Structure 1
Amino acid sequence: MNTLLLTIAAYLIGSISFAVVVSKAFRLADPRTYGSKNPGATNVLRSGNKAAAALTLLGDCVKGWLAVWLVQQYGPQFGVGDDGVALVALAVFLGHLWPVFFRFVGGKGVATALGVLLGLNGWLGLATLVTWLVVAYAFRYSSLAALIASVFAPFYYGLLFGFDAKLLAVLVMSALLIYRHRQNIANLMAGKESKIGSKKK
């Protein structure tokens, strides 16, 4: 029962769409109406407001980290083990992808996935972040960086900790990230993908 309650709470935390909330606070257009129409930091950046994009990125990342950190810190005293941590990690990520507060229209999950990885282990999150940064710097495509980082994340986890329930959660997150980027993959192949920092049309 405790695991179920924590999983539901994690999903609700994940359902807070900071792209929409921050855009409203800054009186910007709804990020679901321009650019990629994705409620995420990269699309908010297309509004030209770097502060709003940074706050969106931070908020989406922190909610992933917070849910996992809380269950790892306090879950054991309520009988919640690694399986529960894995469920919470997935739940907060799924909340971002399909948020109950925003008619189940959410973002692609890159920042929240990073937060989850940082919550699971700092080194795991850092290795994945460095991978994203290197690819993004080299090619200027946020989507390509996310795709490559999502492929490497399960590898990093397995290298650090071996096979367990949390690795399965990371694998599922990676698969969903790739799925959510299917249009970006098509755009990259067609040479139509927008680069980091490009303004909304």
Structure 2
Amino acid sequence: MARPPRFDTDQILDAAVRLAASAGPGGVTMSAVAHAVGAPSGSMYHRFAGRTALLAEVWLRTVERFQDGYFDVLRADPDARRAARAAARYVVSWSRAHPQEAALLLYGPAEFGRADWSEEHTRRADSGNARVYASLGSLGEALGAAGPQDQERVTLALVDLPLAVVRRHLRAGQPLPPHTEDLAEECAAALLQTA
């Protein structure tokens, strides 16, 4: 009878998140992750084909967890303006609750080796991105966005602006101030008044 593994995939990916948050994507190596969980380096290759697969999985698991909550917030309120405000707040509140994951996402998929990902990993990433832009497009229509400039405003209000607030503090190694959710929501609401 085979021995059950001592470390599950989530434990390994959790260690990879911590390494990425502290040392960037370059710090996420097979041996560094194995060392962080106390596993032999060879055992890493039973879970991941190589470093590229590990980087893809840590990126995708993190972004998919964020996106799942983001979609829930966008769908939770039938009033488009309230949903938009809640989405802007969510970016900040999720980042506050998950600072290591937020720090990881500030790098972007290219820095996690996207150019070398498998077809399946690339498909998952593209599918998630398509869902985000479709949701933002639908929300933009509900807000009365009439053209490309209005849709750009929705993306700016609900993605770019809240991420800028988060980025500035996390990159400086500072906790997010208590007012950042309010600030992201207020700015999003102001931008979307003309949408």
TM-score normalized by the length of structure 1 = 0.40
Higher Rg: 2
TM-score normalized by the length of structure 2 = 0.41
